[in-house]
Amino acid sequence: MIFYSIGKRVKNFVKVVINPKAYRRQVLGETSDGESSSRRIEVLKFPNGKIKAELQYINDKLNGISTMYYPDGTIKARENYRDGQLDGLTKRYYSGGQLMSEEFYRRGRLLYKRVFNLDGTLSGERRF
């Protein structure tokens, strides 16, 4: 069980319960560069043991490329993070492995998105 504080008062808490049967968490590696930063890679797994997500953290914030997978093991999404926010190119895939969309973020803000059909043709493009 994990508790997160919402305010400065101790009585204002949100209780978040993580179902341990939903996925298993494994920390692959953790390094520390003195007191300046600590890096770790977490791997989340489905109940069947296949990898659900590979997440890279620096100082407890998502940093680098995070990869999510479908239960059959194919890639669902690849996202770039910087200081806990989406930053850079994100690619999402259909369950068959075909590219579904490309999204470009800058500091957590979506700048443009391209959507593709199952056959790979461009369905639409939008700038925000």
What average pLDDT does range 101-112 have in this prediction? 96
pLDDT-derived band at 91 (thresholds 50, 70, 90) equals: very high
Please report the pLDDT score of residue 38 as a whole number: 84
Kindly report the CATH class assigned to 21-127.
mainly beta
2 compared with 35, residue with greater pLDDT: 35
Using DSSP, state whether 120 is helix, strand or coil: coil
CA Rg value for the chain? 18
Can you tell me the distance from the alpha carbon of 6 to that of 123, in angstroms, rounded to the nearest whole number? 42
What's the chain's average pLDDT?
A: 81
Is the per-residue pLDDT at 6 higher than 90? no
In this prediction the pTM is 0.71
